[in-house]
Amino acid sequence: MTQQQLADKLQVPKQNVSNIINGSIQIGSVRARKIEIALDLPKYSLVEIVGFPTNERDKRRLEELG
């Protein structure tokens, strides 16, 4: 999958994906879950790395993503 294809699936600019890959920006648990879904990775495989959310809003968003 290209960076552009992943960006399209995540509905973000390609530059955002590039910045994630090269470590210029850190991602949170919600974005990590969206990447898991886009790449068909096991649930919470990336979320465990970045850390589960501590605030209620992100906890709800994570649950909504499934």
Q: Per-residue pLDDT averaged across 1-13, rounded?
A: 96
Q: Cα(5)–Cα(11) distance, rounded to whole angstroms?
A: 10
Q: Per-residue pLDDT averaged across 22-43, rounded?
A: 96
Count other C-beta atoms under 10 Å from residue 41's C-beta.
14
Q: How much is the pLDDT for 23?
A: 94
What is the pLDDT confidence band of residue 53, given thresholds at 50, 70 and 90?
very high
Q: Per-residue pLDDT averaged across 38-45, rounded?
A: 96
Phi then psi for residue 45, to 5 deg, are -65, -40
Phi then psi for residue 49, to 5 deg, are -70, -45
What is the pLDDT confidence band of residue 2, given thresholds at 50, 70 and 90?
very high
pTM: 0.89
CB 46 within 8 A of CB 40: no
Whole-number average pLDDT of the chain: 96
Query: In angstroms, how far is CA 4 from the centroid of its own chain?
Result: 15
